Structure 1
């Protein structure tokens, strides 16, 4: 069916057209049966609600015939293909425009991120070169006032380049405490 609507070849018949013909035949059969019923029913049944019911049934049959005529026009290949082409062009044009804007935004975000990283790294290098070279580093999270101008000692490098485990660190702390206790004069 998709191939039929995309190619619009007259040699092939649309599957929906056969179903449409069946529906039109059914509506014609209902119209004929309604005509026979409308002639004979008032003579056989003496009901005042019969004529409005037959009129409503005739009106519904007329609506069905009009709907089938408009449906046959909508099922025409050229009309459906024109709608498809219009929708495809709109989707492609809008899609390409949105994709272009998205790519442009990604490039701008990448450039801004690169600029932020460069500015931050150069600022960090500048701050580190302005610090005193005495081997102590000021903690950046402390305030710069007189009470907060404490410095933190740099840790001594580890002998094998790796930090000790927790238990080894506790043992080293105990040893350093004992060494300090021995060195203090009593």
Structure 2
């Protein structure tokens, strides 16, 4: 079973569908309007966000402190996670392959243990995905970003420091860090990884 997921940045605040961290409904109800941007599929409450933001605009018409600590958002595609969990149960031991779109990082910990394989999808055509899954083409791609372990590490990262997140570690012990990837036989180690992978 192959499950192609949708992205995780589209969220709901109250009855309003929002995407990029601002809610007119929140502002109209007396809030500052700014809400979390979640990389999860399940509802997210920003418990570890800054108490005061480092972004803001001093103009009287804008908000100087855009902090959203304590606010909750729900992603519109939470049902995608339900699909993965339900399919895993229905397949009764047969392989479940999940292909999440990764225009941005995602919290794969929500479904990784239920997936027999995760094939990152950066907007590829269905035929290209099928070529990899059928064995006609060996995967060779590397992650161009870190995949965070959870939203706590996302909220606590330093915006101006690279490679400072705790990355997801899968059930096989692989760390989903920048420049990580698998081919059919092992973790990819080549000229690209030697040049770009950060040594810890």
Where on the TM-score scale, by shorter chain, does this alignment land: which range? under 0.3
Larger-Rg structure: 1
User: Which structure shows the bigger proportion of residues in strand conformation?
Assistant: 2
Q: Which has the higher contact order (CA 8 A, sep 6+)?
A: 2
User: Which structure shows the bigger proportion of residues in helix conformation?
Assistant: 1
